[in-house]
Amino acid sequence: MCRILFLILIGLPCFTLAQVTKDFPELKGKYLGQKPPSNIPELFAPGIVSTGANEMSICFSEKGDEIFLLVARPTLIITSRIKNSVWTDFEEPSFIDPDRANYYMFLSLNGKKLFFTSTRRNDGIKDSLAPRPPAVIWFTERFNGKWNKPQKVDFGSDFKGTSSFPSVASNGNIYFSSFNNESVGIYCSKYINGKYSTPKRLSDSINNGTFNSHPYIAPDESYLLFDSRRKENIVGGSDIFISFKDKNGNWTKAQNIGDKINSERNEIRSFVSQDGQYLFFCSDRQVIKRDLPSVPMKGDQVRALMNSPGNGQQDIYWVSTSFIEKLKQIKIN
């Protein structure tokens, strides 16, 4: 399957989406039946999710029995769930638009609402060359197992920025990234009486430098994970940082989660399983053997290398979240 999946995602016209997943294996148990990781990051579901292509974002349901995955070239949100004790084949959800202009999804704790970033059209224009709308957050709700028509999240007329990479606390508060010509920062909009407040940029404890993005907020808002390219305390290109809420409700100065998880490459787009046990993230670290043969490789050898996770494209990794409590204790002490 991984070879077919890789070829379709880099855009070769040889396969259809149906062919991509026709060899989907029989998987049982939470998190696609994968063995839980330790304190050292491991590729998540190699050959199934992490394929050597370009996997960009992931989220799971509360019980770990439903997955949404973002893959690139072309950009697709695909999903799978447990049905009759077995994981179903990956497929696109019903709320997609013809342009596939949907990215970076987040499933609510109760599994009834899915937030995502989109540049989909809402103006009736069908000209593919016409300028696309800016990226904003949309959501769709699930009734009787079916997703309804997506609609934009309304942050009010006072907010003029873009909104992307949503993460939602159990009380409905949304944390997201907003872009302008100079920087990327993290914002929060509170959900009050069924409406979203005007988003506020988080403090410099988090928004340090010109790039801070891809937030993950804990359900109780006790901590925030995000990635940053700040100049200080960096292991690689983009690293994952964490900030905690103190007793006064303020965010502590963000700290790097360390080189056991961050590498010399990019670690981005955190997601913590709804049970709080596992951190999922994207990384383009290269882990396959770099000692290539001295003689020219044949077709099968080249394809095997291209199709291998850990080849420098973005893959999904997961790791135990035990580090979070340790970092919290260090911060407190």
- Confidence bin at 78 (pLDDT 50/70/90): very high
At residue 159, the pLDDT reads: 94
- Across 222-230, average pLDDT: 96
Residue 84 has phi, psi (to 5 degrees) of 55, 40
Q: What distance in Å separates the CA atoms of residue 145 and residue 265, rounded to the nearest whole number?
A: 40
E runs forming strands in 23-135: 42-43, 55-60, 66-71, 76-83, 86-87, 102-107, 113-118
305 within 8 A of 298, measured Cβ to Cβ: no
Q: What distance in Å separates the CA atoms of residue 271 and residue 218, rounded to the nearest whole number?
A: 9
- Confidence bin at 312 (pLDDT 50/70/90): confident
Domains of the chain and any CATH numbers:
2-124+132-332 (2.120.10.30)
- Confidence bin at 133 (pLDDT 50/70/90): confident
Report residue 257 CA to chain centroid gap. Answer: 18
DSSP 93: -
Burial 217-237 (b: 16+ CB within 10 A, else e): bbeebebbbbbbbbeeebbbe
Q: Is the pLDDT of residue 122 over 50?
A: yes
pLDDT tens per residue, range 230-248: 988 889 899 999 999 999 9
Query: Which pTM was predicted?
Result: 0.88
Q: Is the pLDDT of residue 286 over 90?
A: no
- Strand, coil or helix: what is 22? coil
> What string of DSSP letters covers 188-248?
EE-EETTEEPPPEEPPTTT--SSBEEEEEE-TTSSEEEEEE--SSS-SSSSEEEEEEB-TT
13-17, 225-229, 279-283, range with the lowest pLDDT: 13-17
What sections of 97-139 are H helices per DSSP?
none
Q: What is the mean pLDDT of the chain?
A: 88
125 within 8 A of 290, measured Cβ to Cβ: no
